Amino acid sequence: MRKYELLKEEHNIVRKCSRQKQVIDPETRKVVGVTPDFFRLRTEDKGYLSANWLEFNEGDRQQRIEKAFYMMKDGGLIFGAKDVLALSHVEIIKYCGMIHSTKINIKLRPTSRNKAHVGIYGLPKNNSNEDLLGLLAMKSIAEIATIPISV
């Protein structure tokens, strides 16, 4: 794929999720989801959220998740001991946007240190659509994975 090419709807992305943006099951104490803040743009996000394209890497699903983790880490992302990886289907992210009349796209944005880096474009720049952020948090997360090593 070329830089800025759109990811296919059947593909998946993975993002780091810090403890503050995790939904924890009170009984099991396991991470079961993310808060709407997980999809909230910050002023330094330059109009898109960063993620990694899972299918960039070869191997089974677990191997791809591990490779994505190391690519993000090699790309400069700092992981804490309680951080997790949140996996999402491109198709579901786009569908959530469509329900709220918002065109969301996920484009390949490789960097010199992370060839699988992607940007999630189309989220409201002023974070004004709380319903969209909530829907994304509730419906677009397909899997929560722990980081492969202790950091």
The pLDDT tens digits for 62-111 are 999 999 999 999 999 999 999 999 999 999 999 999 999 999 999 999 99
Contacts of 67 (CB under 8 A, 6+ apart): 57, 59
pLDDT of residue 149: 63
Domain extent at residue 29: 12-146
| Token duo for residue 46 | 């330059």
Residues in the chain: 151
What tens digit of pLDDT does each residue of 135-146 get? 999 999 999 999
The number of domains in the chain is 1
Chain mean position to CA 43: 18
Q: What does pTM read for this prediction? A: 0.93
pLDDT of residue 49: 95
Residue 64 lies in a domain: yes
Residue 118 binned pLDDT confidence (cut-offs 50, 70, 90): very high
Residue 147 binned pLDDT confidence (cut-offs 50, 70, 90): confident
| Token duo for residue 82 | 């309680």
Residue 6 lies in a domain: no
Residue 5 lies in a domain: no
Report how far apart the first and last C-alpha atoms of the chain are (Å, whole number): 32
d(CA 99, CA 82): 33
Residue 93 lies in a domain: yes
45: pLDDT strictly greater than 80: no
**Amino acid code (one letter) for 151:** V
Residue 151 lies in a domain: no
